[in-house]
């Protein structure tokens, strides 16, 4: 998968190069040139590293870093984080969390 700069002045790069560089040389953010198809398959009660590998793996497909992804997500997501099905969260709670996130963007 290739990643392009939001400013369009930098060459496209692979997952690992976009991850290492952070910002593109032209100051833009790297975004995928196409959205990968993420197959359903996340089960309730699955560990956070397993979910991370499932989701991030779609963006790292074909990259040299793909083989190291299980070790990376196991180390990065090595903390307790209970996963809750959206159906179990009251709608008002979701709205409140979304509003807090929007407020933080503009601070």
Record the tokens describing residue 62, joined without a space.
């074909």
C-beta atoms surrounding 92 within 10 Å: 8
Give pLDDT tens digits for 52-100. 888 888 899 899 999 999 999 999 988 887 766 666 666 655 555 554 5
* Rounded (10°) angle between helices 69-76 and 48-60: 140
The pair of structure tokens assigned to 89 is 């969260």
Q: Is the pTM of this model over 0.85?
A: no
53, two tokens: 């590998």
% of the chain residues with pLDDT over 90: 43
Tokens of 72: 């990376």
Cα–Cα distance for residue pair 15/19, rounded to 1 Å: 6
In 3D space, the residue among 36, 35, 31 whose CA is nearest the CA of residue 13 turns out to be 31
């Amino acid at each position: 998968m290739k990643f392009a700069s939001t400013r369009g002045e930098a060459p496209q790069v692979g997952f690992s190069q976009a991850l290492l560089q952070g910002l593109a040389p032209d100051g833009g953010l790297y975004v995928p040139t196409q959205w990968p198809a993420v197959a359903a398959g996340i089960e309730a009660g699955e560990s956070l590293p397993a979910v991370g590998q499932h989701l991030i793996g779609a963006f790292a497909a074909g990259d040299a870093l793909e083989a190291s992804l299980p070790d990376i997500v196991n180390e990065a997501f090595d903390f307790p984080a209970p996963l809750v099905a959206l159906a179990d969260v009251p709608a008002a709670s979701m709205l409140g969390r979304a509003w807090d996130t929007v407020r933080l963007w503009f601070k």
